[in-house]
Amino acid sequence: MSGETVALRLVRRLRDMGVRHVFGVPSGGWVDYMEALRETDGIDFVLTSHEGGASFMADVCGRLTGAPGVCFGTFGPGATNLSTGVGGALLDRSPMIALTDEMPAAMRGRVTQMGIDHQALFAPITKKTVRLDAANIDAILADAAAVALEGRAGPVHIGLPVGLSAEIAGGEGEVAVAPAPPAPDAAQLDALVTAFRAARKPVLAIGLSATRLGIGGRIAALAERFALPVVLTPMAKGMLPESHPGYAGVLFHALSDEVAKTHAEADLVVAIGYDPVEFNYESWMRDGLPLASIDIAPVDVDRARHPVVAEVVGDIAAGLAALEAVQAPRKDWALEAVAARKAAIFQRMRPQAGAMGPCAALEVLRDVLPDDGIMTCDVGAHTHLIGQKWPTPAPGLQIMTNGWSAMGFGLPAAIAAKLCRPEKKVCAVVGDGGFLMTVGELATAVREKLPIVVLVLTDNDLALIRIKQQRKQNPIYGTPVREEGTIGGPSLFGVPVTTAATPEALRAALVEAFAADGPRIVEALVDSREYDGLVLRKDKP
């Protein structure tokens, strides 16, 4: 590869890491990299409508492929636009490499058009930020990939000084290798086993860090063997089937006060891959309830309120293996009561006969979307409903943002999911408020000829904020999306729109949309008042 330019070396190294798409909006300084992408088999540039959409797409590619997702933004506004999804990758724990233009050395620190310090901009929202140089390109990229993937995954920013792309890259060097998690300390494992043996009613709390390890079957078997209830964080959906006898529900989302009736009985929480970036322990555990943690990182909890009786740091699978090796009788839980609470939760989220609310819309969609289809969602009241209601057969089949919780995530996420999993049916569920934030990415779906379905729940209401206003007895102000009407028109950005006001019409529209050979929008006209009794419940009894 002698004589390779920096642009070509960077693109080929990304391709060799497993990166298949680079998302962004080009600049003059990016032209050489785009040409390298055009020339290189196995990796493509995807033009997006906005850099924020590009970084959301890179986030989801990182989740689904295990290789860092890659995105690009230019100076100043390009970089600040990109930063929204970069922050998402940090707090949703998605491996990412974010690339931006940077000023050449002679102009750094000077007053110049679009000139800000990108290293300073990205430092607080990445695991690491660096600047590329021609002599050390392989080492910089290998390190960036390793940092993005190790521990709690996240983004690394690499600045690309303008003019560097045409220079000759230094000699070949390091290749990116995902580091293995460290083995836990034996004393930590002993403390875990001791605490678990002594507990009469331990509850398993499964979190985000467990989802990428392929241990769902092992967790299910452990719960069955010891008759344990299991609660999940929203982004851990799919780790345990809703039909499992130990499934007790999702923390933080709809009807969480009913889920709390189970974990309130526990005398120990055994947290496996639990990341408090989704929901702090103190927000749902009763005071004094002890905690045993198995995670890649030290536990973050108020230890004055919750004694940490065991803290296994490192390889999560090894901590799980220690529990699997325990020889002890079944615990004292009455799983029949847990099952009855679960059934009551799902019954309360059943739609009223003939009603067209978000519950009915989700049930129709779940019936039409194949079991192995991928549903992404945006942020809003519907997210809280999805977190509890949507049956999810496996991790990665329901994709949301919860650690970061940026509105506008759902549509770009669906585009990325379809690019990564072209054989699967893919849809996005978005509220009409969040839809407005990234609606321009419909043009990306059209350009890439992606047959995705966007289900827009139109209620003309920012329901979560409106509910909070009403609970404070404040007037409704600043939360109506529009006075009345729909998203407007028979098509948007060349994507046909079908509007449905009844469950029957919605079913017909979705069946037709999933059979189409390009993107389709299905707009469901729903009553947001259905959320009022289901979301923003207390998480402690």
Q: Is 133 exposed, middle or buried (0-12, 13-18, 19+ CB in 10 A)?
A: middle
pLDDT at residue 60 is higher than 90: yes
CA atoms within 13 A on the CB side of 475: 2
Q: What are the strands of the beta sheet with 128-131, ordered from one edge?
A: 44-47, 21-24, 69-73, 96-102, 155-161, 128-131
| pTM for this prediction | 0.95
Cα–Cα distance for residue pair 64/427, rounded to 1 Å: 15
Is residue 2 very low, low, confident or very high in pLDDT (cuts 50, 70, 90)?
Answer: low
In 66-182, alpha helices (H): 77-91, 118-122, 137-149
Q: What are the strands of the beta sheet with 374-377, ordered from one edge?
A: 398-399, 374-377, 426-431, 453-458, 520-525, 495-500, 491-492
Closest CA relative to residue 258, chosen from 341, 346, 333, 348: 341
Q: What residues pair up with 204 in beta bridges, in sequence order?
A: 230, 270
Is residue 17 very low, low, confident or very high in pLDDT (cuts 50, 70, 90)?
Answer: very high
CB 289 within 8 A of CB 295: no
Quick one: three-class SS letters along 316-332? HHHHHHHHHCCCCCCCC
pLDDT, average across residues 296-319: 97
Angle between helix axes 316-324 and 216-226 (nearest 10 degrees) is: 30
Backbone dihedral angles phi then psi of residue 465, each to the nearest 5 degrees: -75, -40
Contacts of residue 407, defined as CB under 8 A and 6 or more positions apart, other chains included, come to 378, 379, 380, 433, 434, 437
447-472 pLDDT per residue, tens: 999 999 999 999 888 888 898 889 99
Q: What residues pair up with 250 in beta bridges, in sequence order?
A: 232
Cα–Cα distance for residue pair 350/346, rounded to 1 Å: 7
- pLDDT value, residue 1: 44
Backbone dihedral angles phi then psi of residue 215, each to the nearest 5 degrees: -110, 15
In 349-481, alpha helices (H): 358-368, 381-389, 410-420, 432-438, 442-447, 463-471
Backbone dihedral angles phi then psi of residue 328, each to the nearest 5 degrees: -160, 160
One-letter amino acid for residue 101 of the chain: D
Backbone dihedral angles phi then psi of residue 365, each to the nearest 5 degrees: -60, -45
More confident residue, 198 or 461: 198
Q: Tokens 């999805």 belong to which residue?
A: 386
65-105 pLDDT per residue, tens: 999 999 999 999 999 999 999 999 999 999 999 999 998 88
Q: What share of the chain is helix, strand, coil (3-state, %, to 5)?
A: 40, 15, 40
Cα–Cα distance for residue pair 81/48, rounded to 1 Å: 12
Backbone dihedral angles phi then psi of residue 498, each to the nearest 5 degrees: -120, 130
Q: Tokens 């040409």 belong to which residue?
A: 35
- pLDDT value, residue 108: 84
246-290 pLDDT per residue, tens: 999 999 999 999 999 999 999 999 999 999 999 999 999 999 999
- pLDDT value, residue 242: 97
CB 97 within 8 A of CB 155: yes
- CA dihedral of residues 50, 56, 60, 62 (deg, nearest 10): 90
Cα–Cα distance for residue pair 57/46, rounded to 1 Å: 10
